[in-house]
């Protein structure tokens, strides 16, 4: 490994930051754990764990309901979290932040609610590299409404073929729904340009940012996206909570998604009127502890500095790409010019599962399979890959450990 301290590696004291993540400091199969499955879910810093614990120990109560002391405390914490998160993504107003169960539910909400007005002939435009959660809700909608799903192809490098995107985008397109960053390839899409081109034709844009928030800052006003979806657990927060950001006027115009408590203004058997934003889209008791935990994760990221994370990870990506691709017989799937440290790879004719199993025995956690992107795997003519997905707390030394592990797998499995 190259031990020269560049400005980016010096700016982020990774060894020190690692101490904030208790789960990183354990053994797996008698080896130090090397956790490289961050695109599936990230580990949580102590501050997030402590915040959730403190909520249950001393603030636990339902929100928006009671006049009593604890309920007020819980409501303040919950709504405070909304303000923190809104300001983190630079939303104009906290009412533009809707709490959901995660990216999957955020996309389903938009497909269901915004899609309710679609008519036969309308088109939904997505890309080949979408996660199943940005495919299936649109397929279901198209089936219900008689609309057509159009798919932007990707190149051999795993980049959106821009001319094809321009060709597919039209007045018939009712929504463009694409990922900012691919969970399977690591590709960072030219989102800003895509949004500009879509808006030029009056097409609203939903961004699946599940893999964007863990790797750097996000500014919804600069992007000018109409909807942005992300999951807490992919950005060092707890599971079971996520966000749908939507422009206020657009959200105001949408019918409710689920019915129940908290989303209403008044209910009678003659009819119901609905609450204002954001509560109108948050039926039932929300994941209060989860939301508060997500706020703690955002505060943690702010302290570390999302910009410093981006520049450190750029170096980590280069190093990992060089190190892994220099191993004889290894093929990296996804070689886009702009990438986050996600390495999908194949080793000779070894099945990814077998490779993953040997890595696991060495304490190295990678994911194997299709990564919830079966159409993308089909595009590359493969059933799946082994995927090492890194976060800012991963080190150059861990990349070396992965490379050693791959060489070991090769020597054991390849003839
Ligand atoms: C993980 C992921 C999703 C789905 O997120 P959930 O937290 O499972 O709802 C969607 N898109 C991308 C790009 C993802 O990585």
**43 in a domain, yes or no?**
no
Do 310 and 298 lie in one domain? The reply is no
**327 in a domain, yes or no?**
yes
Do 213 and 360 lie in one domain? The reply is no
**326 in a domain, yes or no?**
yes
Do 312 and 386 lie in one domain? The reply is yes
Indicate the residue among 243, 275, 302 that finishes a domain.
302
**2 in a domain, yes or no?**
no
Look up the CATH number of the domain holding residue 204: 3.40.640.10
**292 in a domain, yes or no?**
yes
Q: Which residues are catalytic?
A: 372
Whether the upstream peptide bond of residue 278 has omega within 30° of 0, thus cis, is yes
Question: For ligand 1, is residue 43 a contact (CB within 6 Å)?
Answer: no
Atom of ligand 1 nearest to the CA of 105: 9
The residues, ordered by sequence, that sit 6+ positions from 57 with a Cβ below 8 Å of its Cβ are: none
As to burial, measured by CB atoms within 10 angstroms (0-12 exposed, 13-18 middle, 19+ buried), residue 387 is buried
Cα–Cα dist 356/361, whole Å: 9
Do 269 and 390 lie in one domain? The reply is no
Question: For ligand 1, is residue 330 a contact (CB within 6 Å)?
Answer: no
Do 86 and 233 lie in one domain? The reply is yes
CA 143 to ligand 1 center in whole angstroms: 23
With 60 as the cut, is the pLDDT of residue 4 above it?
A: no
The residues, ordered by sequence, that sit 6+ positions from 3 with a Cβ below 8 Å of its Cβ are: none
Do 178 and 294 lie in one domain? The reply is yes
Indicate the residue among 302, 322, 353 that finishes a domain.
302
Instruction: State the total domains in the chain.
Output: 2
The residues, ordered by sequence, that sit 6+ positions from 286 with a Cβ below 8 Å of its Cβ are: 63, 78, 99, 262
Question: What local confidence, expressed as pLDDT, does residue 1 receive?
Answer: 45
Do 231 and 339 lie in one domain? The reply is no
Question: What local confidence, expressed as pLDDT, does residue 287 receive?
Answer: 98
Indicate the residue among 278, 302, 326 that finishes a domain.
302
Do 293 and 229 lie in one domain? The reply is yes
**CB contact at 8 A, 36 and 344:** no
Tell me phi and psi for residue 263, to 5 degrees. -95, 0
In 204-329, beta strands by DSSP E: 205-208, 227-231, 242-246, 264-268, 271-274
Which region among 138-142, 385-389, 409-413 has the lowest average model confidence (pLDDT)? 409-413
Q: What is the DSSP letter of 57?
A: I
CA 234 to ligand 1 center in whole angstroms: 8
With 80 as the cut, is the pLDDT of residue 415 above it?
A: no
pLDDT in tens, 254-267: 999 999 999 999 99
Do 294 and 313 lie in one domain? The reply is no
Q: What's the domain range around 132?
A: 49-302
Global pTM reads: 0.97
Do 283 and 165 lie in one domain? The reply is yes
Do 210 and 86 lie in one domain? The reply is yes
**217 in a domain, yes or no?**
yes
Do 294 and 317 lie in one domain? The reply is no
pLDDT in tens, 369-394: 999 999 999 999 999 999 999 999 99
Look up the CATH number of the domain holding residue 332: 3.90.1150.10
C-alpha dist (Å) from residue 54 to 68, 211, 296, 404: 19, 28, 12, 42
CA 243 to ligand 1 center in whole angstroms: 12
Question: For ligand 1, is residue 389 a contact (CB within 6 Å)?
Answer: no
**38 in a domain, yes or no?**
no
């Amino acid at each position: 490994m190259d031990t020269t301290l560049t400005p980016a590696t010096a700016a982020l004291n990774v060894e020190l930051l690692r101490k904030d993540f208790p789960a990183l400091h354990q053994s797996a199969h008698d080896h130090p754990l090397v956790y490289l499955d961050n695109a599936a879910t990230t580990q949580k810093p102590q501050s997030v764990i402590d915040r959730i614990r403190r909520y249950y120990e001393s603030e636990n109560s339902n929100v928006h309901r009671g006049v009593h002391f604890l309920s007020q405390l819980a409501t303040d914490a919950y709504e405070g979290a909304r303000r923190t998160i809104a300001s983190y993504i630079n939303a104009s107003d906290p009412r533009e932040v809707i709490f959901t169960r995660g990216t999957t539910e955020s996309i389903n909400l938009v497909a269901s609610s915004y899609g309710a007005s679609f008519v036969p002939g309308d088109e939904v435009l997505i890309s080949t590299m979408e996660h199943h959660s940005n495919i299936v809700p649109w397929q279901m909608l198209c089936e219900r409404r008689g609309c057509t799903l159009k798919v932007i192809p990707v190149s051999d490098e795993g980049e959106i073929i821009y001319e094809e995107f321009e060709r597919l985008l039209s007045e018939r397109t009712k929504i463009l729904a694409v990922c900012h960053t691919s969970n399977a390839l690591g590709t960072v899409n030219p989102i800003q340009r895509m949004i500009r081109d879509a808006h030029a034709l009056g097409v609203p844009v939903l961004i699946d940012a599940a893999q964007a928030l863990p790797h750097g800052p996000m500014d919804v006003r600069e992007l000018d996206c109409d909807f942005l979806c992300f999951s807490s657990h992919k950005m060092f927060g707890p599971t079971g909570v996520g966000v749908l950001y939507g422009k206020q006027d657009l959200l105001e115009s949408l019918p409710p998604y689920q019915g129940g408590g908290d989303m209403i203004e008044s209910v009678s058997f003659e009819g119901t009127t609905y609450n204002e934003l954001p509560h109108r889209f948050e039926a039932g008791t929300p994941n209060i502890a989860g939301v508060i935990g997500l706020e703690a994760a955002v505060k943690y990221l702010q302290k570390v500095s999302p910009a410093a994370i981006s520049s450190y990870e750029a170096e980590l990506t280069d190093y990992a790409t060089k190190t892994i691709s220099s191993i004889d017989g290894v093929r990296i799937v996804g070689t886009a010019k702009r990438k986050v440290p996600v390495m999908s790879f194949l080793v000779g004719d070894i099945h990814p599962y077998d490779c993953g199993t040997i890595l696991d025995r060495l304490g190295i956690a990678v994911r194997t399979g299709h990564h919830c992107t079966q159409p993308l795997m089909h595009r590359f003519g493969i059933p799946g890959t082994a995927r090492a997905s890194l976060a800012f707390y991963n080190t150059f030394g861990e990349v070396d450990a992965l490379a050693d592990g791959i060489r070991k797998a090769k020597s054991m499995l390849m003839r």
